[in-house]
Amino acid sequence: MADLNPADDAALPNLHQWLPLLGESLARQGRFRWLLRGASMTPTLPPGCEIEIVPPPERIPLGALLVFAAGDTLVVHRLVHRASPFLVTQGDHRREPDRWLRPSQVLGVVAAAYRDGERIWPRAWETATRWRWIGRADGLWLLRRLKKAMT
Protein backbone atom coordinates (compact mmCIF):
# COMPACT_ATOMS: atom_id res chain seq x y z
CA MET A 1 0.00 0.00 0.00
CA ALA A 2 1.36 3.46 -0.84
CA ASP A 3 1.11 4.95 2.57
CA LEU A 4 2.09 8.33 3.84
CA ASN A 5 3.99 8.98 6.98
CA PRO A 6 5.67 11.97 8.55
CA ALA A 7 9.45 12.05 8.85
CA ASP A 8 9.18 11.00 12.51
CA ASP A 9 6.57 8.24 12.83
CA ALA A 10 6.95 8.18 16.63
CA ALA A 11 5.82 11.81 16.85
CA LEU A 12 2.41 10.88 15.47
CA PRO A 13 1.38 7.58 17.05
CA ASN A 14 -2.13 7.39 15.66
CA LEU A 15 -3.83 8.58 12.50
CA HIS A 16 -6.93 9.63 14.40
CA GLN A 17 -4.85 12.08 16.43
CA TRP A 18 -3.29 13.91 13.49
CA LEU A 19 -5.84 13.51 10.71
CA PRO A 20 -7.82 16.56 11.87
CA LEU A 21 -4.60 18.59 11.78
CA LEU A 22 -3.92 17.52 8.22
CA GLY A 23 -7.48 18.39 7.19
CA GLU A 24 -7.20 21.77 8.92
CA SER A 25 -3.89 22.46 7.22
CA LEU A 26 -5.38 21.62 3.82
CA ALA A 27 -8.35 23.91 4.47
CA ARG A 28 -6.14 26.76 5.63
CA GLN A 29 -3.12 26.43 3.36
CA GLY A 30 -4.74 24.80 0.33
CA ARG A 31 -1.96 22.21 0.05
CA PHE A 32 0.22 19.95 2.15
CA ARG A 33 3.38 17.97 1.36
CA TRP A 34 3.89 14.47 2.69
CA LEU A 35 6.47 11.71 2.32
CA LEU A 36 5.23 8.60 0.53
CA ARG A 37 6.36 5.13 1.44
CA GLY A 38 5.13 1.80 0.21
CA ALA A 39 5.16 0.52 -3.35
CA SER A 40 1.50 0.09 -4.30
CA MET A 41 1.61 3.13 -6.61
CA THR A 42 4.77 2.20 -8.49
CA PRO A 43 5.72 2.96 -11.19
CA THR A 44 3.63 6.15 -11.02
CA LEU A 45 4.83 7.24 -7.57
CA PRO A 46 8.05 5.71 -6.26
CA PRO A 47 8.48 5.07 -2.53
CA GLY A 48 10.30 7.94 -0.86
CA CYS A 49 8.93 10.68 -3.06
CA GLU A 50 7.22 13.68 -1.56
CA ILE A 51 3.65 14.30 -2.67
CA GLU A 52 1.69 17.51 -2.65
CA ILE A 53 -1.88 17.00 -1.45
CA VAL A 54 -4.65 19.47 -2.28
CA PRO A 55 -8.34 19.43 -1.31
CA PRO A 56 -10.47 17.25 -3.59
CA PRO A 57 -12.53 18.98 -6.28
CA GLU A 58 -16.35 18.80 -6.25
CA ARG A 59 -16.28 16.06 -8.87
CA ILE A 60 -13.15 13.95 -8.65
CA PRO A 61 -12.09 12.81 -12.13
CA LEU A 62 -11.42 9.15 -12.89
CA GLY A 63 -7.70 8.50 -12.70
CA ALA A 64 -7.09 11.04 -9.92
CA LEU A 65 -4.77 9.95 -7.13
CA LEU A 66 -6.84 10.03 -3.94
CA VAL A 67 -5.58 10.36 -0.38
CA PHE A 68 -7.75 8.62 2.21
CA ALA A 69 -7.47 6.98 5.61
CA ALA A 70 -7.37 3.21 5.98
CA GLY A 71 -6.99 2.13 9.57
CA ASP A 72 -4.06 4.05 11.03
CA THR A 73 -2.52 4.87 7.66
CA LEU A 74 -3.06 7.42 4.93
CA VAL A 75 -3.24 5.75 1.53
CA VAL A 76 -2.72 7.07 -2.00
CA HIS A 77 -4.48 5.06 -4.70
CA ARG A 78 -6.03 5.85 -8.07
CA LEU A 79 -9.77 6.38 -8.58
CA VAL A 80 -10.62 3.67 -11.13
CA HIS A 81 -14.41 3.46 -10.97
CA ARG A 82 -17.53 5.03 -9.52
CA ALA A 83 -20.33 2.90 -8.10
CA SER A 84 -22.67 5.62 -6.91
CA PRO A 85 -22.45 6.79 -4.20
CA PHE A 86 -19.09 5.04 -3.75
CA LEU A 87 -15.61 5.53 -5.20
CA VAL A 88 -13.45 2.55 -6.13
CA THR A 89 -9.69 2.94 -5.83
CA GLN A 90 -6.78 0.70 -6.64
CA GLY A 91 -3.01 1.00 -6.37
CA ASP A 92 -1.25 0.98 -9.74
CA HIS A 93 0.90 -1.93 -8.53
CA ARG A 94 -2.05 -3.89 -7.09
CA ARG A 95 -4.27 -6.50 -8.71
CA GLU A 96 -7.28 -5.98 -6.45
CA PRO A 97 -9.31 -2.82 -5.74
CA ASP A 98 -9.59 -1.34 -2.26
CA ARG A 99 -12.73 -1.35 -0.15
CA TRP A 100 -15.16 1.15 -1.60
CA LEU A 101 -15.01 4.69 -0.26
CA ARG A 102 -17.58 7.36 0.31
CA PRO A 103 -16.54 10.73 -1.14
CA SER A 104 -16.50 12.11 2.42
CA GLN A 105 -13.63 9.72 3.24
CA VAL A 106 -11.34 11.37 0.69
CA LEU A 107 -8.99 13.76 2.41
CA GLY A 108 -7.39 15.15 -0.74
CA VAL A 109 -5.89 14.44 -4.13
CA VAL A 110 -2.28 14.35 -5.22
CA ALA A 111 -1.42 17.43 -7.27
CA ALA A 112 2.29 16.68 -7.78
CA ALA A 113 5.13 14.44 -6.65
CA TYR A 114 8.76 15.39 -6.10
CA ARG A 115 12.02 13.54 -5.63
CA ASP A 116 15.15 15.41 -4.58
CA GLY A 117 13.33 18.70 -5.20
CA GLU A 118 12.53 17.80 -8.82
CA ARG A 119 8.95 17.34 -9.99
CA ILE A 120 8.45 13.74 -11.16
CA TRP A 121 4.64 13.60 -11.49
CA PRO A 122 2.44 14.40 -13.33
CA ARG A 123 4.34 13.89 -16.53
CA ALA A 124 3.39 15.28 -19.93
CA TRP A 125 1.64 12.02 -20.91
CA GLU A 126 -0.31 11.63 -17.65
CA THR A 127 -3.75 11.88 -19.27
CA ALA A 128 -3.06 8.86 -21.49
CA THR A 129 -1.35 6.98 -18.66
CA ARG A 130 -4.28 7.42 -16.29
CA TRP A 131 -6.60 5.72 -18.80
CA ARG A 132 -4.14 2.85 -19.08
CA TRP A 133 -4.42 2.25 -15.33
CA ILE A 134 -8.20 2.57 -15.38
CA GLY A 135 -8.38 0.09 -18.27
CA ARG A 136 -6.08 -2.30 -16.40
CA ALA A 137 -8.32 -2.15 -13.32
CA ASP A 138 -11.40 -2.80 -15.47
CA GLY A 139 -9.68 -5.74 -17.20
CA LEU A 140 -8.64 -7.27 -13.88
CA TRP A 141 -12.20 -6.87 -12.59
CA LEU A 142 -13.54 -8.67 -15.67
CA LEU A 143 -11.03 -11.50 -15.27
CA ARG A 144 -12.02 -11.94 -11.61
CA ARG A 145 -15.71 -12.10 -12.60
CA LEU A 146 -15.06 -14.64 -15.36
CA LYS A 147 -12.93 -16.77 -13.05
CA LYS A 148 -15.65 -16.68 -10.38
CA ALA A 149 -18.33 -17.61 -12.94
CA MET A 150 -16.29 -20.59 -14.12
CA THR A 151 -15.90 -22.06 -10.60
- The reported pTM is 0.85
Q: Check residue 26 and give its pLDDT.
A: 86
Q: Where are the beta strands (DSSP E) in the chain?
A: 3-5, 32-37, 50-54, 65-70, 73-83, 86-90, 106-115, 118-121
Total domains present in the chain: 1
Contacting residues for 131 by C-beta, under 8 A, at least 6 apart:
63
- With a cut of 50, say whether residue 24 has pLDDT above it: yes
Say how far apart CA 61 and CA 134 lie, in whole Å.
11
Average confidence score pLDDT of the chain: 88
pLDDT score of 12: 45
Question: Which domain, by its residues, includes 38?
Answer: 3-150
Q: How many other C-beta atoms can be found within 10 angstroms of the C-beta atom of residue 118?
A: 8
Task: With beta carbons less than 8 A apart as the criterion, state whether 41 and 133 touch.
Answer: no
CATH number at 107 reads 2.10.109.10
Residue 10 pLDDT exceeds 60 = no
Kindly tell me if the per-residue pLDDT of 11 is higher than 80.
no
Q: What is the mean pLDDT of residues 115-124?
A: 95
To the nearest whole percent, how much of the chain has pLDDT over 70? 90
Give the pLDDT score at 70: 85
The proportion of the chain whose per-residue pLDDT surpasses 90, expressed as a percent, equals 70
Q: What gap in Å lies between CA 25 and CA 31, rounded to an integer? A: 7
Peptide linkage before 43 cis (omega within 30 of 0): yes
* pLDDT tens, residue by residue, 133-146: 999 999 999 999 99
